[in-house]
Amino acid sequence: MPEFPIPSPRPALFELLREKSFKTGDFTLASGKKSSYYIDCRLTTLDPAGACLVGAAMRELLVAEAAARGLDVVGVGGLTLGADPIALATAMASHAGGDSPALRPFVVRKEPKGHGRGRQIEGGFADGDNVVVIDDVITTGGSTLQAIEVVEREGGKVAFVAVLVDRQEGGREAIEAAGHPVVSLFTRDELLAAG
């Protein structure tokens, strides 16, 4: 039976992200800086259709990047809360896509758990894992670098970083200066250019 290429989920995700998550106006960012636009990716990543598109597009990006770098990646996750729905959606797309083994999602807490085993990483993560650290948006790169620090302290190896949107405000450069390549599905310029 002939195989037909499946169209990339990226164009549909871009349109949904523009519709749901990209807002213009007068905003104060977490850094305290003022901005004429705001990107609230959770409005897309926590939407049923959006989650499916995010998972499929992120899986497509990760598979291509890992293959280009000659790497085997077993897990995907990042700092709670922005990375959580992306990690789960990507792992679900990996499973549905027949990846063997499927990517395992994990969550990095902002602080170690104060009870039980006192873990700071929950889910499908183990010492020695080669993983991709993900985030919804990078601006300064601070939350991504925090997740990387925890992953490495817990014995993980960060293959690269993948983000939904790069705000192009120095975050990528900060992460790459720390020795971790960054790939993104979209950039601020792409979103702004679309009108």
Between the CA of residue 112 and those of 88, 108, 115, what are the distances in Å? 21, 9, 9
Question: Could you tell me where the DSSP H helices lie in the chain?
Answer: 10-20, 42-45, 48-69, 84-96, 142-153, 171-177, 188-193
* Alpha-carbon gap, residue 64 to 62, rounded angstroms: 5
What's residue 4's pLDDT?
Answer: 40
Residues of the chain with pLDDT under 70: 1-6, 115-117, 195
Which two tokens mark 74?
């077993």
What's residue 115's pLDDT?
Answer: 67
* Alpha-carbon gap, residue 125 to 131, rounded angstroms: 9
CATH numbers and ranges of domains, the chain: 55-185 (3.40.50.2020)
Between the CA of residue 31 and those of 20, 28, 35, what are the distances in Å? 23, 8, 11
* Alpha-carbon gap, residue 155 to 26, rounded angstroms: 42
Model-level pTM? 0.93
What's residue 1's pLDDT?
Answer: 31
Give Cα 82 to chain centroid, integer Å.
8
C-beta separation of 128 from 157 below 8 A: yes
Which two tokens mark 105?
């999602």
Q: Tell me the per-residue pLDDT of 33-55, one tens digit each, with 9 for 90 and over.
A: 889 999 999 999 999 999 999 99
Give Cα 116 to chain centroid, integer Å.
28
